[in-house]
């Protein structure tokens, strides 16, 4: 395996990790902004008020995105394993 193949393999892996994490991070970021704005508007600084809705939002998003996440990771894995002989050289 040449160094350029290793770099390409690592690049593909990091890109796939980014695409799997990006939707959940974006949803978490948006919910955190909304909850922070609600806390500012109500002058409520309770930690439970900020943590619990964020966790619930993240859990719902994770459950809704689960089929897509599984499909993307399976596609990547099958592509990687299907081309395994290329990396053995």
For residue 43, which phi and psi values (nearest 5 degrees)? Answer: 55, 35
Mean pLDDT of the chain: 90
d(CA 15, CA 37): 32
Tens of pLDDT, residues 26-53:
999 999 999 989 888 888 877 777 888 8
Confidence of residue 74 (pLDDT cuts 50, 70, 90): very high
pLDDT of amino acid 17: 96
Token pair for 48: 């439970």
pLDDT of amino acid 89: 66
């Amino acid at each position: 395996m040449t160094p350029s193949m290793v770099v390409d393999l690592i690049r593909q892996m990091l890109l796939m990790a980014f695409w799997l994490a990006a939707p959940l991070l974006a949803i978490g970021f948006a919910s955190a902004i909304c909850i922070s704005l609600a806390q500012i508007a109500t002058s409520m600084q309770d930690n439970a008020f900020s943590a619990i809705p964020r966790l619930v939002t993240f859990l719902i998003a994770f459950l809704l995105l689960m089929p897509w996440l599984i499909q993307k990771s399976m596609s990547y894995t099958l592509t990687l394993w299907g081309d395994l002989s290329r990396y053995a050289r």
